Every structure is written in C-alpha cells, then in structure tokens.
Amino acid sequence: MSMLLHVCCGPCAAYPVEYLKAKGFDVVGYFYNPNIHPYKEFRRRLETAEEFAAKVGLEFIIDDSYQLEDFLRLALDAPEGRCRECYHLRLRQAARYAKANGYDYFTTTLLVSPYQQHDVIKAIGENIAAQEGIAFLYFDFRLGWHEGVKISKELELYRQPYCGCVFSERDRYQKPRKEKG
C-alpha cells in the first residue's frame, strides 16, 4: 500500500506519518507548496520538512517550484475563496505525481490542522482523485493534532506562526490602527 503524503510543513507531517506507518502504509512525503510567502519563509519550511524527514527516516520528494504569480492569480480570482484554490493547486500536483509514479494512494497533511477547512479539503481531494485516476484516502488527522505538536517540539522543529500565503501573514500581524485624538 504505497502512499504519497503531500506535506505542507514538517510539524504538520509528524502525526500523519506516525499514523500511516502504524497502519501499514509505505509512506513517502511530497513537498509542493508555492503558496508560502515570503520566499525566505518558503525555504525555511522546506528545510524544516527535510529536517523532519531525516529525523524520522521518511523518504521525501521535493518539488521546490515557486510559481508565485500563478498562485497569486488564482488567489485573487477565487469566487469561492482563495483557500479552495490553494488546496486544489497543491493536491492536484500531488495527485499527478502519485499517478505518474505508480502510487496506490495520495493524501495530505493539511488534514491535521484544526485551522483548515477540513470538509473542503476532503471534497477537493476526492474530486481530484476522480479526475486524475488515483485514489485519495481521507483521514481525520485532527484527532492527532496535539500528538503532532508534541512530536514536533521533541524534534525541535521550527513551527510557523501563520498559514502560509501573503494574505494569511497580513491577517496574522496586522493590528488595527489606533484612532488619533
């Protein structure tokens, strides 16, 4: 049972990797996240994911293409919300890689976060699976969110303070201006 696990970052991979290995999957990580801003943060998350993979002995494939313009175009022209486009972009790439390289299944570490739109990720994964001809397996990894935080702290991994894109970075740090007078 070969599983390509789309990895959004090292800390989010901690619990899903442990869970999938325990269930008998032959797991390979796959990093593809051109949504992350700024580029220095993208490199830092990529390096942390690599560090995690090395520490737990996970085979890890990296696609470090960074199509910033494409991502922004999608995010700005997104009638149903930019996160939907962002999930779709990343999961479609993972599905295509999995299909082209003979994996049985694909899934994503995005399903571990209580801050993501869980049902939307599930629906998009299943939809892409039907389009690309590769099985998507759904897991509610949120059940292991605290376990994943614990593992990532034990492994001393960098934990990012915002979701990833420039919009989420603004929302994390922008403070309302104080009224004068």
Kindly list the residues in this chain that would bind ligand SF4 in the complex (CB under 6 A): 35, 75, 82-83, 86, 163-165, 167-168
Please answer whether residues 146 and 154 qualify as being in contact, where contact means their C-beta atoms are separated by less than 8 angstroms: no
Please answer whether residues 115 and 8 qualify as being in contact, where contact means their C-beta atoms are separated by less than 8 angstroms: no
User: In whole angstroms, how close is the CB of 75 to ligand SF4 at the nearest point?
Assistant: 6
User: In whole angstroms, how close is the CB of 8 to ligand SF4 at the nearest point?
Assistant: 9
Please answer whether residues 36 and 24 qualify as being in contact, where contact means their C-beta atoms are separated by less than 8 angstroms: no
User: In whole angstroms, how close is the CB of 83 to ligand SF4 at the nearest point?
Assistant: 3
User: In whole angstroms, how close is the CB of 30 to ligand SF4 at the nearest point?
Assistant: 17
User: In whole angstroms, how close is the CB of 43 to ligand SF4 at the nearest point?
Assistant: 16
- How many CA atoms does the CB half-sphere of 20 hold within 13 Å? 29
Closer to ligand SF4 by CB, 24 or 79: give it. 79
For helices 82-100 and 68-76, what crossing angle results, to 10°? 130
CA 160, 165, 167 angle in degrees (round to 5)? 110
Closer to ligand SF4 by CB, 35 or 152: give it. 35
Closer to ligand SF4 by CB, 20 or 163: give it. 163
> Does residue 99 sit in helix, strand or coil?
helix
> Does residue 133 sit in helix, strand or coil?
coil
Closer to ligand SF4 by CB, 84 or 135: give it. 84
Closer to ligand SF4 by CB, 86 or 112: give it. 86
